Each structure stands twice: as C-alpha cells, then as structure tokens.
A = this chain, B = another copy of it.
Amino acid sequence: MKNPGNRRDFMKLITASALAPALRDSAGSPQPGDTASNSFNARVEKWDVQEIALRSSKSYSNPFQEVRLECRFKSGSHEVGAEGFYDGDNQWKVRLMPTVEDEWTFKTSSNDSDLNGKTGSFLCTSPRPGNHGPVQVQNQYHFGYADGTPLFVLGTTLYNWIHREEALQQRTLQTLKESPFNKARFCIFPKWYPYNRVEPPLYPYVKIGENRFDFERFNPAYFRHIEQRLKDLAALGIQADLILFHPYDKWGFSKMSPAQDDAYLHYLVARLAPFRNVWWTMANEFDFIKPAKNWNHIFQEVDKSDPYGHLRGIHNGRSWYDHSKPWVTHCDIQLQGGDTYVTALGARMKYGKPVLVDEYGYEGNNMMPWGSLTGRVETSRHWGVTMAGGYASHGETYVHPGDILWWAVGGELVGESPARLRFLKQILSETPYQELQPLPDAVKRGTALGKKGELYLCHFTELGDREKFELRIEGAGAFSVDLLDLWLMKTYPLGHVSPGAHVFNLPFVPSLLRLRRSAVTGSKTQPLPSIQDLLQRWESQSG
C-alpha cells in the first residue's frame, strides 16, 4: 500500500455507501419505471472501466444523432467530463477510467430527460498487481505506465486480426500470450486487400444493401467485440495500438464525409478511451488515403475528446506527417528502405519525442520486397532502431494455407525473429534503458548506445573483414565486457578492460559488445582477447 491513510478512507466510504449502488435523479429520488435496469459499479479498480448504463423510454428515428449525453465525474478537486454513447436497445452508456483512488461522484446531463441529471457515487480502489495504468511518454524519448513503471515497447503487427473468424482470433491471442510482444497494431475498420479477401463477421455500420452502409448508424455489436479484444489484450499485458483510418477499403469507411468521420471519432473515443491499454494511431499510411483527410483536425478532435490523453501518432506511406505538431505524442514511422538506425536517430533529434518505427519490413515470403525479409534482416532492422534509442514493431508475412499471414490476420508465428527480439528486449530490460543515449562518436564501424562512463552497448552487423572495429570508452576504473551472439542468443563474458580506445575484430555477427562499469580494479584488466582466443574459448565451452 502506497498510501494507507487513503486506504482507511476507502473502507469508511465503502461502509457508508451501499454495495449495490443506486442511481438517483438530481433531487435524490429513486428511479421510476423501466430505468430500474440502470446500473453502474459500486467499486472500480483504478484505471479499470466504470460504466454507467442508462435506459430511455423515448423513441428516436436516429438515437446516435438525436441524443446528447454527457457526464461529469468528480473526486475531490479532480473532475472528468465524458461523452456518452448509444449502445443499442434503448440503452445509453457513459464510461470513465478513474485515475484517483478515492470516492467519486457523477452527474449526467442530456437532452433526453430519462438520461438527464442522474447521479451516483462509487469508490475507486487500488489497482491489482499487473495493472499499471495507461502508457504515456516518459523521460521525453520513452514510454512508461501511469504508475511510473517503464515499458520497453516491442510491437507486432496484426492489421485485420479482429475482423476474422473467432477461432482464428483465439489462436492469435494464444500466440500473443507466448510471444515477447507487448504492443499490437491493428485497424478499427476491416481491411480488404490481397492479404485479406474475407468479409468481416460484423460491420461497424448498419448494412443497408450489398456493400452499402448507413454511415449515420453505428453497429454497437461491432464495437463491443473490439472492447472484448481490448480486455483480452490487457489481460496479456499488451498495448492495443488502434488504427483509426486506412486506405485498404472496399466498404467506403475510408471515404466518409468529414462530419461522419467526426461522429466516428467521438463514438470511438467515448467507448474505447476508458480502456487503459488504448493507443490512438490516426491512420495506417495516411498519405495513401484519397481523398486526403484533414489530419490536423482529426488529431485535434481525438486529443480534445479523450480525457486521458492516450498516446497519439500517425503512420505514413511515403511522406511523413509533421510530428513536431503539439498534438503528436510520439513519432510513428514507416521506413521505405534505408537504414533504420539513421532514420530513428535523425527523427529523435528532429522531434525530441519518442521514436516508434512501426514498420520497417516484415519477415516472411509473400514475394513483395517489404514482406520477404529473412529473420536476420528483420532482427537487424529492429536492433537499428533500438540502438538509436527508439522502439519498433515486428511483422511476419509467411504465407500459410488459406492465405493466413500473421501480419494481416494473425494465427501462429513461425519466424526466426521473435525469439531474437525477445533476447533484444531482455538485454535492454537489464539496463536503465531510459537513461541510455545514442553515442555515434563512441564507435567506428558499428553503433553504440549507452551512458558515458557507465554502460556501453555496441552493435555490429558486419564482420570486420580487413577493417577493425574501434571503440572509445570514457570514465575511470574497469569495465566488464560481454560479447553477445544475437543470433544464437548466447552471452560470452570476456573479462575486464580499462577505459580508452580499443581496436578489435569480431568472430560472428550480429553481435553486441556490452561494457559495464565494474567493481574490479583497473589492475585486473586486460586487452580484449583476439578472435583466435575467443574461438578457442568457445569451442572448449561448447565441447
């Protein structure tokens, strides 16, 4: 317990309030008629979802458009305004993700008298283990949970996975559970493209004909399904990076009017923002969506509607959005060729924000240049971003029977990179990675990330050939040296060296040379062993 004083207050409040809470009108009178089914939770865990469900006896030709519902939530001086939404069957809901462990009260306002002026109170309790709250920017370039726990983001890509048959979705969840990934990118709207020619089980809008939809009427079941997947992912500790628009469309969801887009954004934020693992990505390949949308407006609309300030980014095709705009929380990048380290480093310097390379190409065999990378190249590109102090997302495009590609629709992972990316995450997690800086001057013929005088990670993807690698270590005392085989995922301790300039060669790549300030005194240090020495030593170790 961080705050036992508060804890006592909670117990008192719990005793004082009914465990089965009563919704009251603003005069405090009990509820009449069919509003008996109105409900909310008496207790809700911090960063969980409180949901107030209300019924109206009135009838509307379009309840999505004709009814306005808002709710003010208060806890002490803390106040949150939330928009409600129509959930079908004459039921409206309004949700809160409480961020203060204390008693909360609320009061609704609506143009429907059945929904207006409803009040109540509830208790927000301590988060259970594993609930660290929503993820935010931490230490300028990094990510962390609301409770302060840092998050080393390791993403994967699952564009259309929630729009396929339930059995496949369950297999995907099982795969994710066993994977190293803690963020999944996927689209709110289904995708229609060579990698998914399957109609989704549900549509986001009411269907009014063959491939025709009423963009003024949402299909609540569609969004309830997404909410279930958000909960499933949260239970696995996985961030849901939700992509709001994309160009791979046959149904017209990418070509709605600006007013319809706005209604969609408000509906989505009202429903989903209270889920703590939500990230908002405005688009997949925003610049490929025609006609072009006003992305500044879309960002601002999401920003002002979301009371919790979930992370906001946008994914590019060829051209980049200006990530320096104040409503962009992190710099989301698709790379088209080039060097992942260079781009991530440049973006970090230009924008001064976390860099997230969400697309650098995929391990697989789909015959496209971007989907035919070997596991080695996939791993190497991911390391490039990591060495620049950034984060990245994996994808896998091996083509399985039935045109099942992980990156498009989920299923199983069979590639070589996930295990190596787990190793990457483990290596970085054993460091104070939010304190590490790219150190391009510390190394020649490789890349370095570290904290000068304390810790150096040096990454190499090429053998030295006739050239030597050079490393310059600042500081005093001695540094322990480990050579890590990033492909075989083995660690070889090499002893200790003194600070200064070191020239060496490598017996294998991809490799990471890790130097850590050590308690060993300088007199115990030695030069780095020669390749011959190393090879001999490892042969004897494995023999």
Which residues of chain A have a CB within 8 Å of any CB of chain B?
A: 296, 316-320, 322, 324-326, 333, 335-339, 341-347, 349-350, 352, 369, 388, 438, 440-441, 444-447, 462, 465, 467
Bound form: Cα–Cα A316–B339 in Å: 11
In the complex, which of the residues B296, B317, B345 contacts A350, with contact meaning CB atoms closer than 8 Å? B345
Q: Complex Cα distance A445/B350, Å?
A: 9
Q: How far is the CA of A438 from the CA of B349 in the complex (A)?
A: 10
**Given that A335-B338, A337-B317, A352-B440 are contacting pairs, would A326 and B369 also be in contact in the complex, using a CB cutoff of 8 Å?**
no
**Minimum distance in angstroms from A447 CB to a CB of chain B:** 7
Once the chains are docked, how many angstroms separate the CA of A337 from the CA of B347? 14
**Smallest distance from the beta carbon of A224 to chain B beta carbons, Å?**
36
Q: B336–A444 contact, CB under 8 A?
A: no
> How far is it, in angstroms, between the C-alpha of A438 and the C-alpha of B462 when the chains are bound?
29
A322 to B465 Cα, complex, angstroms = 13
Q: Report whether A326 and B467 are in contact in the complex, using a CB–CB cutoff of 8 Å.
A: yes
Query: Closest residue of chain B to A337, judged by CB?
Result: B318
Known: A296-B465, A317-B337, A319-B337. A350 touches B343 (CB 8 A): no
Contact B341 A338 (CB under 8 A): no
Instruction: Provide the residues of chain B in CB contact with A444, threshold 8 Å.
Output: 324
Cβ contacts under 8 Å, A342 to chain B: 320, 343, 346-347, 350
- B residues within 8 A CB of A467? 325-326
Q: How far is the CA of A444 from the CA of B350 in the complex (A)?
A: 9
Set of chain B residues within 8 Å of A440, measured between Cβ atoms: 349-350, 352
A337-B317, A339-B320, A467-B326 known; A346 and B388 CB under 8 Å? yes
A439 to chain B, nearest CB (A): 10
Once the chains are docked, how many angstroms separate the CA of A438 from the CA of B333?
22
Chain B contacts of A349 at CB under 8 A? 345-346, 349, 438, 440
Tell me the interface secondary structure of chain A in the complex: loop
User: Which residues of chain B come closer than 8 Å to A326, judged between CB atoms?
Assistant: 467
Q: In the bound complex, how far is the Cα of B341 from the Cα of A347, in angstroms?
A: 9
Report the minimal beta-carbon distance from A347 to chain B, rounded to whole angstroms: 5
Q: List 5 A-B contacts (CB under 8 A).
A: A318-B336, A320-B342, A333-B338, A345-B346, A352-B440
Distance between Cα atoms of A469 and B447 in the complex (Å):
33
With CB as the reference atom, state the residue of chain B lying closest to A462.
Answer: B322
Residue of B nearest to A361 (CB): B318
Residues of B within 8 A of A388 (CB): 346
A445 touches which of B324, B337, B438, B447 (Cβ 8 Å): B324
Q: Which residues of chain B come closer than 8 Å to A369, judged between CB atoms?
A: 318
Given contacts A322-B462, A336-B336, A346-B347, 13 further A-B contacts (CB under 8 A): A318-B337, A322-B445, A325-B467, A338-B343, A339-B346, A342-B346, A343-B343, A345-B346, A346-B388, A349-B438, A349-B440, A350-B440, A350-B447
Query: Given that A350-B345, A388-B346, A444-B324 are known contacts, is A338 also in contact with B338, CB under 8 Å in the complex?
Result: yes
Query: Which B residues touch A296, using CB under 8 A?
Result: 465
Q: Which residues of B contact A352 (CB under 8 A)?
A: 440-441
Residues of B near A446 (CB, < 8 A) are: 324
How far in angstroms is the closest Cβ of chain B from A495? 27
Cross-interface CB contact of A346 among B316, B341, B465, cutoff 8 Å = B341
Output the residue of A318, A319, A349 with the most chain B CB within 10 A. Answer: A349
A346 partner residues in chain B, CB cutoff 8 A: 339, 341-347, 349, 388
Across the interface, which residues of B come within 8 angstroms of A445, CB to CB?
322, 324-325
Instruction: Report Cα–Cα, A350/B343, bound state, in Å.
Output: 10
Expressed in whole angstroms, the Cα–Cα distance for A369 and B467 within the complex equals: 39
Given contacts A349-B349, A350-B440, A441-B352, contact A338 B336 (CB under 8 A): yes
Expressed in whole angstroms, the Cα–Cα distance for A297 and B185 within the complex equals 42
* 3 smallest beta-carbon distances between A and B, as pairs: A346-B346, A318-B337, A342-B346
- CB-CB under 8 A from A350, the residues of chain B are 339, 341-342, 345, 440, 447
Provide the bound-state CA to CA distance between A192 and B10, in Å.
79
| Shortest beta-carbon distance from A398 to chain B in Å | 21
Q: Which residue of B is nearest A317, CB measured?
A: B337
Contacts of A341 in B (CB 8 A): 346, 350
Complex: A346 Cα to B322 Cα, angstroms: 17
Query: What residues of B have a CB within 8 angstroms of the CB of A317 in the complex?
Result: 337
In the assembled complex, the Cα of A319 lies from the Cα of B467 at a distance in Å of 21
The answer on a CB contact under 8 Å between B339 and A336 is no
For the complex formed, measure the closest distance between the CB of A513 and the CB atoms of chain B, giving whole angstroms: 16
A344 to B342, CA, bound (A): 8
How distant is the Cα of A369 from the Cα of B319 in the complex, in angstroms? 11
Cα A48 to Cα B345 with chains together (Å): 42
